[in-house]
Amino acid sequence: MPYFDTASAAPLHPVARQALLAALDEGWADPARLYREGRRARLLLDAAREAAAEAVGCRPDELVFTSSGTTAVHAGIAGALSGRRRVGRHLALSAVEHSSVLHSAAAHEAAGGSFTEVPVERSGAVDPAAYAGALRADTALACLQSANHEVGTEQPVAEVAALCAEAGVPLLVDAAQSLGWGPVAGRWSLLTASAHKWGGPAGVGLLAVRKGVRFAPQGPAGERESGRAPGFENLPAIVAAAASLRAVRDEAAAEAVRLRALVGRIRSVVAERVGDVEVVGDPERRLPHLVTFSCLYVDGETLLHELDRHGFSVSSGSSCTSSTLEPSHVLKAMGVLSEGNVRVSLPMGTAEADVDRFLDVLPGVVAEVRERLGAPVSAPPSPAPAASLVVDALGRRCPIPVIELAKVIGEVPVGATVTVLADDEAARLDIPAWCEMREQEYVGEEPADRGSAYVVRRLS
């Protein structure tokens, strides 16, 4: 049963399992204690810290283990903001960060701080010059992910780190999606990661804070992990996390080449065989194992269910809100289509045959979902052209408003408009995206009694 959602959680690496089992026997005691079980636990903890620090590219005393990637991000951002409070209370971040970063920014704002979200290009990457433009005299911290968790696009971290260093602003890099593949290049100041993304166990995150970076841990004081991560160390899991990071890195170079080719095949075959699809994210500067595409006239939840029924586990839209299936903030920031969105992230060791089977099954599944929804097929009907049209899609959920638009666009003459009345939030994103894909003109949005009126001009 192929599992293609390693970006949410990777299956446990065999080395992690083995190390966890050994550490359950050897490392359950309190590493702060002076007796033999405590000393043994302390040795394991020290060795794990050294191994993880080597993989991150920092000194062991710069790295602490947290209880998750999310808590690493929360602690890292809060500590760095507080440490530089005298400089100011402004935070810079990209618009496509993980929710843990966005939520930290919102909490900072609620506490009286401010933040600037740097927009991204259609590829999902920030423009370094635009990022630098967001840095101000009162900027205490800048945040940038190493690679995007939803579309796989790599961010220009080294360039942004250099610009931040020039401006004297520390840069926190959320490396959750990339750390298994290699260290983060560039002069970053803080780095966070999450073990269960690289095949380690749940319950372990990393927070590295370079010497010299002003840092004031927030929340109640703690005796553990240099006061930067509260609570008893999750030692067996920490040992397993460090061991598996090392193991994954040994396999990373070869596996990256192999998965990059498989993902390349998915990108081209999907575009070719599915039709009316947008493969999003940068095709070159990307994670080796991750690809995301959006299918017109398809709703994401139904598509996931159908793929699951065929034995494929994939995810859709925003990484942390798939159960609500709200339009993803990442796709929104990129300005790409969000309907019928599928993220495929291949675990290391994925069999080529499983990918082939996925590519065999997918076009039929998409076609079936479209047929059920009454979506237009390739050639649009062309009856006698009418004047401008209004389509009422009020109360209809994504992807119906776009389907209704596509159905009637051929009925108006070139130069005339179709106005779609819709109150579904996704329409605001998907109607312009459809226009871009179909090379029709998106005229704009007008207020309406209920919802909004989206005006589209037929160009061809």
For its own copies, the closer CB: 3 or 131: 3
CB of 74 to its own copies, least distance (A): 5
Query: In Å, how far are 177, 185, 216 from 78, measured between CA atoms?
Result: 21, 24, 8
The CB-of-12 to its own copies minimum distance in angstroms stands at: 5
> Taking the mean position of all CA atoms in its chain, how far away is CA 68?
16
How far apart, in whole angstroms, are the C-alpha atoms of residue 304 and residue 4?
12
Q: For its own copies, which is the closer residue by CB, 170 or 236?
A: 236
Bridge-partner residues for 457, per DSSP? 417, 441
Report d(CA 291, CA 310) in Å as an integer: 19
> CB-wise, 35 or 353, nearer to its own copies?
35
Q: How far is the CB of 281 from its own copies (least distance, A)?
A: 21
Smallest gap from residue 342 Cβ to its own copies (A) = 12
Shortest approach of its own copies to residue 438 CB, angstroms? 30
3-state secondary structure the chain: CCECECCCCCCCCHHHHHHHHHHHHHCCCCCCCCCHHHHHHHHHHHHHHHHHHHHHCCCHHHEEEECCHHHHHHHHHHHHHHHCCCCCCEEEEECCCCHHHHHHHHHHHHCCCEEEEECCCCCCCCCHHHHHHCCCCCEEEEEEECECCCCCEECCHHHHHHHHHHHCCCEEEECCCCCCCCCCCCCCCEEEEEHHHCCCCCCCEEEEECCCCCCCCCCCCCCCHHHCCCCCCCHHHHHHHHHHHHHHHHHHHHHHHHHHHHHHHHHHHHHHHCCCEEEECCCCCECCCEEEEEECCCCHHHHHHHHHHCCCECECCCCCCCCCCCCCHHHHHHCCCCCCEEEEECCCCCCHHHHHHHHHHHHHHHHHHHHHCCCCCCCCCCCCCCCCEEEECCCCCCCHHHHHHHHHHHHCCCCCEEEEEECCCCHHHHHHHHHHHHCCEEEEEEECCCCEEEEEECCC
Indicate the burial class of 92 (C-beta count within 10 angstroms; 0-12, 13-18, 19 or more).
buried
Residue type, 129: A
| Catalytic-residue membership of 295 | no
Calculate the alpha carbon distances from 405 to 73, 277, 283, 411, 422 in Å. Answer: 42, 16, 29, 10, 11
| Closer residue to its own copies (CB): 33 or 372 | 33
Of the candidates 158, 95, 167, the residue with the CA atom closest to the CA atom of residue 128: 158
Q: Least Å distance between CB 445 and its own copies?
A: 29
Q: How big is the chain by its Cα radius of gyration, in Å? A: 24
Query: For residues 100 and 452, which CB has a smaller minimum distance to its own copies in the complex?
Result: 100
Give the residue with the Cβ less far from its own copies, 84 or 196: 196
Catalytic pick from 58, 143, 320, 435?
320
Cβ-based nearer residue to its own copies, 6 or 452: 6
Chain residues in the site for its own copies (CB under 8 A): 1, 3, 5, 8-9, 11-12, 17, 20-21, 24, 28-30, 32-38, 67-71, 74, 78, 99-100, 103-104, 106-107, 194, 196, 201-203, 205, 219-223, 230-237, 301, 304-305, 307-308, 312-315, 320-323
Residue number, 54 or 301, with CB nearest to its own copies: 301
Nearest distance from C-beta of residue 24 to its own copies, angstroms: 6
Of 225 and 411, which has the nearer Cβ to its own copies? 225
Q: Which residues are catalytic?
A: 320
